[in-house]
Each structure stands twice: as structure tokens, then as C-alpha cells.
């Protein structure tokens, strides 16, 4: 388990990515030359309208008095970290390891992280973005949760994702990277410090466990994953949010680069919680250190740039297939309309795009059952949109029931159930003289505040609402 202990700022050595460096990194990714390594700084989810580290949420869940005897619950409350912050799950595990059995601790951590008795934890947007970069085949994680697999399931329906979980003193054939993975480039997730389960010894719970795992990862004579390391020797390593203590970071970097000459080391390290000593070590290893942007924002930029490069390549080589959905930028505004209103909606989209608001609209009116994956893709886009904008007009009164747009409304109604009321997910836009409360307008949109075009133009207040909402969603 990678730690998220507080570390000193490394502002004095902050570096940024130049346009040329971004271009080079994306090009390497497209060539299959980059392996991302994931850390806890990527595990951010919204809570009370604010992005919150899952490690802190899990720490709060693990510290719940209902889980422990009264005496231990009191000790947890008394000893919690200073400064008004709560425990991270890793810090609390260190304390609990002195008072409860290893088996009970493993069971409790797994119960918090996997949440078997309720809805799963939401998939962090950063992990979904990484899973959607199809040029990545192998993902290495330093965390012990199962969220990268969750992201892969959501973003990459298709071939089964290979899971490899390292364990100290484990059988090499089971804890190393399978050769078939290298040949077929099937997607895979490698857990450096194991993954939570109800069984003790399957993942690193505490700092003592981290030492044991790290030692085994370096023991190339007996336990170290040789095929994995051989594979990494030829790749550029992209370390994302791996806020490791100095000693652990050096162990890990030595392990994945130990066989390469210094001048051939290729590594990016992105973290806002990096100890100065580790930064200096990374720079001596010729790594590109990025501390001026959060790993979450870095991944968002990376995904956007990868998409843009993919779009350019596609436009230069082949025509867009008729049944292929146009690219969707996560958090874009979804425009839902009847094809009879397409010309007006295209003008609306241009106004929004001119104001730097990403939009998505279906370029063709489909039948109720299109018979391909287009409908599934539209459903994903609706769920991932910051706002759903139904274009209201008198066309609604004349249109028949077997129109695909009506299916979009049902998808949006389901997506709205996962949003907070204050998100104002529905943003109906009226483009003609349709009166407020018109009976032919679908009932789900009646309670929402309607906006009307003014002389054919989208009102500035509406544009401002969308702009601010997209920023909040993408955070």
C-alpha cells in the first residue's frame, strides 16, 4: 500500500511540462512505449461538493467507533492526527496493527475498501481517463484497492483484464507478468503491494508490510518479478500521484530501473506531495519531475491531448464511420434534440464552443433500436456529461413516440438520480415560442428552470452557468 503521509513541499524544484514535452509524451503513449504507475493522489472523489482523497474517507470509515471495542475507539479518537485532519487509512492501520490481530485488520480494511454491503465507491475520474487511453495496456498500481479494475470495466468493455497481484515469497509464476500479456498486449493491472481481500498476507496493510513487500520486490534471486522488470527496462515510466516516503520511492525506482544505464532512464514523476530528497534523487536519475500541477489535473490534460491527437490522426487517414459516435470530452454539455431542429442546435453549439464550452450532440437521428454500440456510447456520454440540455421546441408536440431522442431522456433521468439537486443537471433550452409548462414537454424536465434564446442567441447567464458547472465537475 502506498502511503499518503504528510510530506514536505518541493516547491523549490517545481517544473512544468512544455508543449514539446507534452507532444513527446503523447507520441510515446501512442507508440505503446509508456507504462503508467498509479498512486493514492489519483484517488479523489467528490464529497459535499469538494474533491476529497479516498484515503481520508477510508480512514474515517475505518475509525468508526462501531467497528472497535469502546477502549480502542476512544484511543483512536484521542490519538488522531493534529491540525484538525482525520486519519488516513494507512496511518490508522499502523496504529491498529499494535492492538488487533493481522487477520482482523485485513478483514476490516477490505470491508472498507471493497464496501461489499453497499454501493461501490465511485470510480475516480482520473482512473477512468487513464482507462480510456487505449494505447495503455499495462497499468501498475501502488495502491491496494480495486478501483483501476473498476475503471477498466467501465471504460473498456471487451477482453478480460489480466490481474497480477504481487505477494512476498509468492510463487514466481503467479506474481510475475505473464508472457502471454507481452505477446497479445491484452489489458492488465499489476498490483505491486497486493490487493485487499479478507485474507491476511495478500496486501500491504502497514509500514512493516511495506518493508517486507519492498524487500521481496528487490530480491531478484528468489521473488522479484523478472518478466515485469524486463518489460519495464524498455519503457518510459509515468509515475502519477505516487506520494511515497523518500526511502520507499528510492527502493521502488531502483527496482524498476536497476538494470538500465543511467543515460537510458526514462521516467516522469508527477506529484504535489514529494519529499525534496526524493526529488533530488529523481533528478539525478534523469527523471522529469512535475510538481506544479496535481496528478488529477495532469491526467485530465493528458487524456485531452491524447484524444486530440487521435482525432487528428483519424481525420488525416480515414473518414468517420457512419455509425461511429464523435469524440466526447469528459464533462462536456450533452445537447439532446430532434433532428428537425438540427440546424438551430448546430448554431447553439457553435456559440457555446466559441465560449470555450465543450459540447456533444448526436450527429444523426437513430431509430429506437439502432442495432449497434452507438446507443451504449450515448448512454456513457450522458452519464459523463456535466449538464444535460434538452432542446425544447414545438417539434416535441409533432414527433412520434419511436424516436431515439426519447430514449436519451430516459437515460438522462437515470443519470440525474446520481447527481445532487444543487448540480442542476437538467438545463432545458427553449428555441421557439413553446410556453412554459407545455403539456407535450416530457414531465421530467418540467420542474427544471427553462432558458430561452434571445434573438437566436444563447443568454450570457446560461453560458456562465455551464462554464462554472463544467469547471466544478472536472475538479
* pLDDT at residue 447 is higher than 50: yes
Containing structural domain, residue 241:
11-49+120-305
Q: 344 is written with which cell numbers? A: 438551430
Has residue 148 been placed in a domain?
yes
**161 and 42 in one domain?**
yes
Residue 108's pLDDT band (cuts 50, 70, 90): very high
Q: What share of the chain is helix, strand, coil (3-state, %, to 5)?
A: 45, 10, 40
Backbone angles phi, psi at 208, to 5 degrees: -60, -40
Has residue 80 been placed in a domain?
no
Residue 313's pLDDT band (cuts 50, 70, 90): very low
Residue 175 to residue 293: CA distance in whole angstroms? 34
Nearest to 220 by CA among 255, 177, 193: 255
In this prediction, residue 12 carries a pLDDT of 34
**301 and 370 in one domain?**
no
* pLDDT at residue 13 is higher than 50: no
**297 and 148 in one domain?**
yes
Residue 118 to residue 310: CA distance in whole angstroms? 38
In this prediction, residue 38 carries a pLDDT of 95
**437 and 377 in one domain?**
yes
Residue 147 to residue 420: CA distance in whole angstroms? 23
* pLDDT at residue 400 is higher than 90: no
Average pLDDT over residues 5-19: 51
* pLDDT at residue 374 is higher than 80: no
Ramachandran sector of residue 456 (left: φ over 0; alpha: ψ -120 to 50; beta: rest): left
DSSP H or E segment with residue 189:
strand 188-191
Has residue 314 been placed in a domain?
no
In this prediction, residue 91 carries a pLDDT of 87
Residue 40 to residue 80: CA distance in whole angstroms? 20
Residue 8's pLDDT band (cuts 50, 70, 90): very low
The answer to whether 245 and 6 have CB atoms below 8 angstroms apart is: no
**351 and 234 in one domain?**
no
In this prediction, residue 180 carries a pLDDT of 66
Nearest to 239 by CA among 10, 15, 42, 33: 42
Beta-strand runs (E) in 23-165: 34-38, 44-47, 50-53, 138-141, 162-165
Look up cell 462501531; give the residue.
Answer: 66
**58 exposure class (CB count in 10 Å sphere: 0-12, 13-18, 19+):** buried
Question: Taking the CB of residue 235, how many other CB atoms lie within 10 A of it?
Answer: 16
Residue 310's pLDDT band (cuts 50, 70, 90): low
pLDDT digit string, tens, across residues 185-197 = 678 899 999 999 9
In this prediction, residue 387 carries a pLDDT of 94
Question: Taking the CB of residue 12, how many other CB atoms lie within 10 A of it?
Answer: 8
Backbone angles phi, psi at 113, to 5 degrees: -70, -40
Q: 412 is written with which cell numbers? A: 438522462
The answer to whether 423 and 369 have CB atoms below 8 angstroms apart is: no
Has residue 106 been placed in a domain?
no
Has residue 115 been placed in a domain?
no
* Tally of domains within the chain: 2
**283 and 422 in one domain?**
no
**244 and 150 in one domain?**
yes
Residue 427 to residue 248: CA distance in whole angstroms? 49
In this prediction, residue 322 carries a pLDDT of 34
**423 and 301 in one domain?**
no
Q: 252 is written with which cell numbers? A: 521502488
**351 and 288 in one domain?**
no
- Of the three residues 290, 305, 320, the one that is the final residue of a domain is 305
Average pLDDT over residues 409-417: 88
Residue 137 to residue 139: CA distance in whole angstroms? 7
Average pLDDT over residues 193-212: 90
* pLDDT at residue 251 is higher than 90: no
The answer to whether 417 and 475 have CB atoms below 8 angstroms apart is: no
Has residue 215 been placed in a domain?
yes
Has residue 325 been placed in a domain?
no
Residue 37 Cα distances to 208, 278, 285, 418, 439, angstroms: 22, 16, 17, 30, 54
pLDDT digit string, tens, across residues 49-89 = 788 999 999 999 998 998 889 999 888 888 888 777 788 88
Q: 411 is written with which cell numbers? A: 437515460
**266 and 411 in one domain?**
no
Residue 221's pLDDT band (cuts 50, 70, 90): low
Residue 368 to residue 38: CA distance in whole angstroms? 41
**464 exposure class (CB count in 10 Å sphere: 0-12, 13-18, 19+):** exposed
Count CA within 13 A, CB hemisphere, residue 166.
31
pLDDT digit string, tens, across residues 210-220 = 888 888 887 76
pLDDT digit string, tens, across residues 132-154 = 998 898 999 999 999 999 999 88
In this prediction, residue 208 carries a pLDDT of 86
* pLDDT at residue 369 is higher than 70: no
Residue 396's pLDDT band (cuts 50, 70, 90): confident
- CB burial readout 259-283, b (16+ within 10 A) else e: eeeeeebbbbbbbbbbbebbbebbe
Has residue 175 been placed in a domain?
yes
| Residue 28: CATH number of its domain | 3.40.50.1220
Q: 264 is written with which cell numbers? A: 537510458
pLDDT digit string, tens, across residues 315-358 = 333 333 333 445 677 889 999 998 888 889 999 999 998 888 98
Vertex 262: Cα angle to 260 and 266 (nearest 5): 75
* pLDDT at residue 311 is higher than 50: no
* pLDDT at residue 437 is higher than 80: no
Average pLDDT over residues 272-289: 79
Ramachandran sector of residue 450 (left: φ over 0; alpha: ψ -120 to 50; beta: rest): beta
**312 exposure class (CB count in 10 Å sphere: 0-12, 13-18, 19+):** exposed
Q: 91 is written with which cell numbers? A: 496511518
Q: 333 is written with which cell numbers? A: 454539455
Residue 366's pLDDT band (cuts 50, 70, 90): very low
In this prediction, residue 256 carries a pLDDT of 66
Question: Taking the CB of residue 414, how many other CB atoms lie within 10 A of it?
Answer: 11
**388 and 295 in one domain?**
no
Residue 265's pLDDT band (cuts 50, 70, 90): very low
| Residue 357: CATH number of its domain | 3.40.50.10140
In this prediction, residue 372 carries a pLDDT of 44
In this prediction, residue 440 carries a pLDDT of 80
| Crossing angle between the packed helical segments 374-383 and 404-416, to the nearest 10 degrees | 40
In this prediction, residue 367 carries a pLDDT of 43
**420 and 278 in one domain?**
no
Question: Taking the CB of residue 309, how many other CB atoms lie within 10 A of it?
Answer: 17
Alpha helices for 428-459 (secondary structure H): none
Backbone angles phi, psi at 203, to 5 degrees: -160, 160
Amino acid at each position: 500500500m502506498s502511503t499518503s503521509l504528510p510530506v514536505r513541499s518541493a516547491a523549490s524544484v517545481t517544473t512544468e511540462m512544455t508543449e514539446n514535452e507534452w507532444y513527446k509524451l503523447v507520441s510515446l503513449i501512442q507508440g505503446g512505449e509508456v507504462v503508467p504507475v498509479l498512486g493514492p493522489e489519483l484517488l479523489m472523489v467528490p464529497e459535499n461538493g469538494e474533491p476529497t482523497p479516498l484515503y481520508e474517507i477510508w480512514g474515517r470509515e475505518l475509525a468508526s467507533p462501531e467497528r472497535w471495542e469502546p477502549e480502542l475507539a476512544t484511543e483512536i479518537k484521542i490519538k488522531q492526527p493534529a491540525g484538525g485532519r482525520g486519519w488516513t487509512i494507512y496511518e490508522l492501520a499502523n496504529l491498529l496493527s499494535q492492538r488487533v490481530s493481522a487477520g482482523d485488520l485485513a478483514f476490516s480494511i477490505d470491508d472498507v475498501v471493497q464496501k461489499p454491503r453497499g454501493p461501490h465507491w465511485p470510480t475516480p475520474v482520473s482512473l477512468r481517463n487513464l482507462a480510456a487511453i487505449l494505447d495503455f495496456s499495462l497499468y501498475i498500481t501502488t495502491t491496494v484497492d480495486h478501483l483501476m479494475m473498476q475503471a477498466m470495466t467501465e471504460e473498456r468493455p471487451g477482453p478480460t483484464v489480466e490481474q497480477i497481484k504481487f505477494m512476498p515469497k509468492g510463487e514466481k509464476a503467479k506474481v510475475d507478468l505473464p508472457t502471454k500479456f507481452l505477446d497479445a498486449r491484452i489489458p492488465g493491472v499489476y498490483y505491486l503491494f497486493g490487493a485487499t481481500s479478507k485474507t491476511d498476507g495478500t496486501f500491504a496493510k502497514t509500514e512493516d508490510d511495506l518493508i517486507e513487500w519492498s524487500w521481496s520486490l528487490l530480491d531478484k534471486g528468489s521473488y522479484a518479478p523478472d518478466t515485469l522488470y524486463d518489460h519495464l527496462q524498455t519503457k518510459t515510466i509515468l509515475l502519477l500521484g505516487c506520494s511515497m516516503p523518500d526511502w520507499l520511492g528510492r527502493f521502488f525506482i531502483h527496482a524498476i530501473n536497476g538494470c538500465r544505464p543511467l543515460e537510458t532512464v526514462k521516467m516522469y514523476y508527477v506529484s504535489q506531495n514529494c519529499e525534496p530528497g526524493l526529488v533530488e534523487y529523481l533528478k539525478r536519475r534523469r527523471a522529469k519531475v512535475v510538481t506544479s500541477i496535481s496528478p488529477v489535473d495532469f491526467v485530465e490534460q493528458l487524456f485531452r491531448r491524447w484524444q486530440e491527437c487521435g482525432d487528428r490522426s483519424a481525420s488525416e487517414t480515414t473518414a468517420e464511420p457512419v455509425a461511429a459516435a464523435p469524440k466526447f470530452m469528459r464533462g462536456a454539455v450533452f445537447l439532446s434534440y430532434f433532428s428537425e431542429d438540427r440546424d438551430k442546435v448546430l448554431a447553439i453549439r457553435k456559440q457555446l464552443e466559441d465560449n470555450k464550452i465543450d459540447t456533444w450532440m448526436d450527429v444523426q437521428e437513430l431509430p429506437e433500436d439502432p442495432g449497434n454500440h452507438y446507443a451504449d456510447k450515448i448512454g456513457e456520454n450522458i452519464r459523463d456529461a456535466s449538464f444535460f440540455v434538452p432542446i425544447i421546441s414545438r417539434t416535441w408536440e409533432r414527433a412520434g413516440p419511436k424516436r431515439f431522442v426519447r430514449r436519451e431522456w430516459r437515460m438522462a433521468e437515470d443519470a440525474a438520480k446520481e447527481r445532487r439537486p444543487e448540480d442542476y443537471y437538467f438545463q432545458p433550452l427553449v428555441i421557439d415560442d413553446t410556453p412554459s409548462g407545455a403539456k407535450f414537454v416530457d414531465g421530467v424536465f418540467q420542474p427544471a428552470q427553462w432558458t430561452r434564446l434571445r434573438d437566436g442567441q444563447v443568454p450570457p447567464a446560461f453560458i456562465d452557468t455551464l462554464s462554472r458547472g463544467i469547471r466544478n465537475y472536472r475538479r
